[in-house]
Chains A and B, each alone.
Chain A
Amino acid sequence: MEIDRRSLMKGVLASGALLALGTPPWTFAGSLARRPNYCVLLLGGTSADEVFESGARAACASMSNDGLRSVKLKGGLLGRTERVSTLLEQSRGARWIAVMDDASAVIFLELARTASVRLLSMGTHACSRDSSCPLRHSWATTSSDHSAGGLLASQFVQRGGSFSITESFLQDPMEERALTSWSAPGFSSYRSGEADAMHLHCSGLSLSDGCGLIGLTTTDGWITIPQQRGVHDSVRWQSENWVESVGYAVTASALGMGSFTESCSVRAFVHRSRDSERRQPTERFVSFVMDL
């Protein structure tokens, strides 16, 4: 595989970031990170729609936001592309959150590009029994300002159970941002030696096993990040259902809930539970956050 080390990490990993829920909303000048004027939740006809929407509504409630409008695509997107194109054209000025199955997501992104959207994040979410880590989330996020991975990690830390979350940021971190790191009880944090290309937060498994779980074959060059003072997770809302948690995290991030950002290109959270795993609903879907 002819890829350089930085590319490998950016692509294979991802990370989430943090949550200091309750910190001020998007405050980064010059970015698109802002509270949207109005927000549309597009439900693409997946079996996850209802539970995801429940999490999204919880996020709205916790932020006192009653401006989320839902649109349901009955019968899915593959037979309704004209309808979706029209919706995209008619929703200028809105921030969209969308939930799709894998097939619809491929086509949806094509329609979105043609409509000149500004894509803030795209997450692939899976719980399946054909992988060594059943619960997996992989985000491609424009910048750490739009990270939902940290919000989700904190949800999962509270409820227990193994998971992996990776998040890669298309935009390099801003230099002026403080070099801080997420932390949570039981987690050890590391950064790759090369210019903070990646942060890795591991719990219940070694650095080596953590690297292996996210597809890295070497543990060379990693530096331990000391536990940070004053970085605490506060989780205001909790669900036993992982899909609902994703709905909450994606929506909270999209609505501008402040989250703790790290200065890195890629972040990953991996947790292996020592307790017997609870049976989780098998489900797969893709989430989008975009501005029109």
Chain B
Amino acid sequence: MASKYIALPKGISEQTFDAAVKDFRRVLGDANVLTSAYQLAPYTKIMMPVPEANHTPSAAILATTVEQIQEIVGICNNYKVPIWTISTGKNLGYGSAAPAERGQVVLDLHRMNRILEVDADLCYALVEPGVTYRQLYDYFQEHQLPLWLSVPAPSAIAGPTGNTLDRGVGYTPYGEHFMNACGMEVVLTNGEVLRTAMGGLPNSNTWQVFKWGYGPYLDGIFTQSNYGIVTKFGFWLMPAPPMYKPFQIQYQDEGDIVEIVETIRPLRISGTIPNSVVISHALYEAGLKAKRGDYVSGPGPISDEAVHRLIRDHKMGLWNVYAALYGTAEQVAVNWKIVTEAFGKSGKAKFLTEQDVGDDPQFGYRAALMRGGMDMREFNLYNWRGGGGSLWFAPVSQARGSETLKQMTLAKRILAKHGLDYTGEFIVGMRDMHHILDILYDRTDPAMTNAAYQCFDELVTEFSALGYGSYRTNTAFMDKVADTYGPVQRSINRRLKKALDPNGILAPGKSGIR
């Protein structure tokens, strides 16, 4: 018999689910409980090489208040119905808004979108989870606040809460987002509301200025996890600098990554270059200027010869370094001299500034992101091959030239084995780097879709065997990645889960935790 629902939670009968939905409607109203296929279809879209059916929700519910969320967790506990919480749901390539497991109810908080406080003196904000970067950007403009955001690539449509809770990054000096998080409000599954750190004190005015509070630091356990529902989120903002100087440095050979990283590391650790530097391979940016079909015909990975033809045609670097200097004119001038001298030693580097490039889109979107601007042109990389398939593989590397070359070579070999291209970049912290690869494939081609799945699986296996762990992964591979961190970490995560969510109602499967 056909169900009235497009999916049901695992182990839950339709009758039980009917009762849960009825209770959701009582709390939220009919209009905020979505169960029809038409309403849920936008929540089913994924870019991973697995069937949408694996990640189809049973319902989506839209809450706007803490009190509603407290009631919802009560209902979920009552019926043992699992929920998958999203803030804006823009975790593109990592699962988007679709739940980790078929039948989970999406708790969509995008309408819970009040900017609660912005302090321009102390440079912080306190927001609800549905607040987008665009809202904050517009708020700063409207109130003429000299504050900058740090945004990820989806910039305008994403928000600080979801991005930070998944430990995403941006490109300004505040680019390591969780490092700049300060204070959370969390609804626990027993209905209690926890305010972390200084937020525990009545009348505290230091919740968003001092991270640590007293006793164990709890904020971390609510990131990349499923122990609570974050309903308020504090974070620090960057004061707008008097001068901003973005620049690009091009190199033309893959082996140059060693020189690039060895040159950047001391500049990053000393703070001469303060922002999250990006070292981007040409294929990561090619979608802005060309189509893969212009350079490749037939199956298999793109050849090195074709890549070099591409970079000649479009005046790109094989590696493209993007960084920026921030401060007074005097500070920027001094640091620019240090940077150009350091990179200029070998004679391989080609420097480009805003004056050199005009309206070049490659430079333009990077320059926008490094000042926290709203610019989504990075997503042109989905047009390079086309077909809607994208899988982010994100191993962490030491900020050491030899290590980056080793990782790039290994990734390129595994991708080529499966007929896929190396489309990667390194985002440089001080001592580490996020090596971000987008495995682009065509979802209309079943053979390529299967190859992408096998490729990702092999990448995780091979990289972890060499000690390289992923800092983040998509919902199809969370268990496998969790396994790479060893049984003790999995066990402690499980015990925390049992203690904080005994019925397992919050996002079962997130980061491999059940």
Contact = CB atoms under 8 A, between A and B. Distances in A.
Contacts of B293: 128-130, 282
Interface residues of B, number: 60
A109 interface: yes
Interface in A208-254: 213-215
B39 interface: yes
Contact of B383 (A101, A114, A120, A282): A101
Nearest to A6: B53
Contacts of A7: 51, 53-54, 102
Contacts of B287: 103
Contacts, number: 164
A118 interface: yes
Contacts of A173: 2
A124 B156 contact: no
B442 A117 contact: no
Interface string B443-485: 1111111100100000000000000000000000000000000
B380 interface: yes
Interface stretch (B89-97, B193-201, B423-431): B89-97
B382 A117 contact: no
A275 interface: no
B386 interface: yes
Nearest to B380: A103
Contacts of B447: 131-132, 215
Interface in A71-85: 78-79, 81-82
A125 B43 CA distance: 21
Interface stretch (A19-27, A133-141, A199-207): A133-141
Nearest to A140: B52
B56 interface: yes
B6 interface: yes
B89 to A, nearest CB: 7
The DSSP consensus for interface residues of chain A is: mixed
Given A10-B52, A140-B44, A142-B37, A103 B448 contact: no
B182 interface: no
Q: Which of A1, A10, A105 has the most CB of B within 10 A?
A: A1
A238 to B, nearest CB: 24
A110 interface: yes
A276 B141 CA distance: 61
Given A119-B41, A131-B299, A138-B444, A81 B376 contact: yes
A263 B443 CA distance: 25
A66 interface: no
A87 interface: no
A113 B54 CA distance: 20
Interface stretch (A55-63, A149-157, A164-172): A164-172
Contact of A126 (B134, B377, B381, B386): B386
8 contacts: A81-B157, A102-B386, A103-B381, A109-B42, A117-B42, A119-B38, A129-B297, A215-B449
Given A81-B376, A129-B297, 6 more contacts: A11-B54, A81-B156, A102-B387, A131-B442, A138-B443, A168-B53
